[in-house]
């Protein structure tokens, strides 16, 4: 399938459920049944204006291709989309449609914003085969309802993305990381909160392998200045070592948990990170990103009752836990995404019924 109209025809003609496939890197959610709708052929950057900080690409365009094009102009995708191939053991190339459809944002989410914040416009085919556009390619746009946000993070359950337009940002001249080793979760939160509550524009705050990493980016002089100022501010939290070699893709892609058979991605308010970690049974592995607001938790062994227990802990705190990695049998038997309140669940179900009246797009992936 190479064009939007082919996608529309295929959806219109579908006799049963469809599984939308871009790069095929995200074996996440309740396993869906149906015919494969392969949109990886809708590929290519169709417009790039570096002076306007905007780029438009067909949904099946590999992220790597977009990042290479941006690098030529010294720009980047500021929300730092993660790559799940290592964690999930999948192959294939992460596509921009998959990134937007799943609102996949990395460490810089706390400073720059999420994938949904950088999506300026979308084109998609709804469940009845209608082509819909929303938003555009300009940075400020409040013309009508914001379906761009609604499509971001809908995992293909409202429509098949065919094109996205993105806000991009300048790449930076310099980047450095301040490392504080051997901190327990609560100590890590204290250090990260102090850093994120400072004026020094921390663009990454993670707790990984027991150490806090704090990233500073920008012009070289400015990075040096802020590294010194932040080191002084955080002196009471431990010995601070400045490193220019920290590999932030380890945080972004949850590399320390790659060997775990079960992995949860949990969003809570940063201060609740330690409580989530404390509630995990012995033998669990965990790391935190987003200043403690994003917890990646992993285990070799897990069952439906542990999963329910984790989601219940998170529900009590306010937030959401997604079982991002687990064998199909477990994913088929549990609510992979956080169960929603009655009000939210009924609005979401009603929206799905309107956008996909036959219930054929990635049916049941997010909610049974």
Binders of another protein among residues 331 to 350 (CB under 8 A) are: 337-338, 340-341, 343-345, 347-348, 350
Q: Which of 90, 222, 231, 309 binds another protein (CB under 8 A)?
A: 222
Q: Order of strands across the sheet with 319-325?
A: 240-243, 174-180, 211-218, 202-208, 285-289, 294-299, 262-268, 319-325
Minimum gap (Å) between residue 144 Cβ and another protein:
5
Smallest gap from Cβ 337 to another protein, in A, equals: 6
Does position 270 interact with another protein (CB under 8 A)? The reply is yes
State the minimum distance, in angstroms, from the CB of residue 368 to another protein: 13
- Under the binding rule (CB under 8 A), the answer on residue 52 touching another protein is yes
Kindly state the tokens that stand for 324.
């991002």
The side-by-side arrangement of strands in the sheet containing 131-135 is 45-49, 54-58, 159-167, 119-126, 131-135
Q: How far is the CB of 159 from another protein (least distance, A)?
A: 9
Min dist CB 102 to another protein, Å, is: 11
Among 44, 197, 281, 316, binds another protein (CB under 8 A): 197
For residue 191, what is the enclosing H or E element? Answer: helix 185-196
Verify binding: residue 74, another protein, rule CB under 8 A.
Answer: yes
With contacts defined by CB under 8 A, name the span among 29-37, 132-140, 241-249, 323-331 that binds another protein.
132-140
Q: How many residues bind another protein (CB under 8 A)?
A: 89
Q: Segment contacting another protein (CB under 8 A): 180-188, 280-288, 296-304, 318-326?
A: 318-326
* Smallest gap from residue 145 Cβ to another protein (A): 4
Among 14, 45, 88, 172, binds another protein (CB under 8 A): 172
Q: Give kind and range of the element (H or E) at residue 55.
A: strand 54-58
Minimum CB distance to another protein, residue 350 (Å):
4
Least spacing, CB of residue 146 vs another protein, in Å: 5
d(CA 25, CA 38): 13
Q: Is 62 within 8 Å of 23 (Cβ atoms)?
A: yes
Question: Could you say which residues in the range 87-126 bind another protein, by CB under 8 A?
Answer: 103, 105, 109-110, 113-114, 116-117, 126
> Which residues on adjacent β-strands are paired with residue 121?
135, 165
Report phi then psi at 319, rounded to 5. 155, -160
Interface residues for another protein in 138-167 (CB under 8 A)?
138-150, 152-154, 157-158
63 Cβ neighbours under 8 A, 6+ residues apart = 77, 81, 83, 93, 94, 95, 96, 99
When asked if residue 322 is in the footprint of another protein (CB under 8 A), the reply is yes
Span 227-246, contacts to another protein by CB under 8 A: 229
Which CB sits closer to another protein, 14 or 225? 225
Which of 211, 315 has the CB closer to another protein? 315
Per DSSP, the chain holds a count of helices (H) and strands (E) of: 13, 17
Q: How many CB atoms lie within 10 A of CB 239?
A: 9
Give me the least distance between CB of 306 and another protein, in Å please: 18
CA-to-CA distance for 279 and 264, rounded, in angstroms? 13
Enumerate the β-bridge partners of residue 124: 132, 161
Nearer to another protein, 93 or 164 (CB): 164
Residue 366 binding another protein, by CB under 8 A: yes
Cβ distance 270 to 290 under 8 Å? yes
**One of 48, 79, 82, 290 touching another protein (CB under 8 A):** 290
Residue 213: CB atoms within 10 Å: 24
């Amino acid at each position: 399938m190479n064009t939007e109209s082919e996608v529309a025809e295929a959806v219109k003609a579908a006799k049963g459920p469809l599984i939308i496939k871009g790069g095929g890197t995200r074996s996440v959610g309740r396993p869906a049944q149906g015919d494969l709708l392969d949109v990886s052929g809708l590929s290519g950057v169709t417009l790039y204006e570096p002076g306007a900080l905007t780029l438009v690409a067909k949904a099946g365009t590999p992220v790597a291709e977009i990042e290479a094009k941006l690098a030529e102009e010294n720009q980047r995708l500021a929300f730092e989309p993660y790559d799940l191939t290592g964690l999930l053991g999948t192959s294939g190339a992460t596509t921009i449609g998959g990134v937007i459809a799943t609102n996949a944002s990395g460490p810089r989410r706390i400073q720059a914003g999420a994938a949904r914040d950088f999506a300026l416009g979308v084109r998609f085919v709804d469940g009845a085969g209608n082509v819909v556009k929303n938003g555009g390619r300009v940075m400020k746009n409040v013309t009508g309802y914001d379906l761009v946000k609604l499509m971001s993070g809908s995992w293909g359950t409202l429509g098949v993305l065919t094109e996205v337009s993105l806000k991009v940002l300048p790449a930076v001249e310099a980047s450095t990381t301040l490392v504080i080793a051997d901190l327990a979760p609560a100590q890590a939160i204290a250090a990260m909160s102090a850093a994120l509550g400072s004026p020094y524009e921390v663009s990454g705050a993670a707790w990984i392998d027991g150490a806090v990493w704090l990233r500073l980016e920008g012009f070289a002089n400015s990075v040096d200045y802020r590294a010194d100022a932040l080191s002084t501010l955080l002196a009471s939290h431990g010995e601070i070592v400045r490193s220019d070699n920290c590999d932030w893709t380890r945080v972004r892609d949850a590399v320390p948990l790659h060997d775990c058979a079960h992995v949860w991605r949990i969003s809570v308010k940063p201060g609740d990170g330690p409580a989530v970690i404390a509630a995990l049974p012995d033998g669990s592995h965990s790391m935190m990103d987003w200043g403690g607001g994003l917890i990646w938790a992993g285990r070799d062994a897990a069952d439906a009752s542990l999963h329910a227990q984790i989601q219940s802990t998170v529900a009590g705190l306010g937030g959401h836990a997604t079982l991002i990695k687990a064998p199909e049998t477990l994913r088929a038997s549990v609510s992979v995404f956080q169960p929603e309140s009655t009000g939210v669940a009924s609005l979401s179900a009603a929206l799905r019924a309107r956008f996909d009246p036959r219930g054929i797009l990635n049916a049941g992936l997010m909610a049974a």
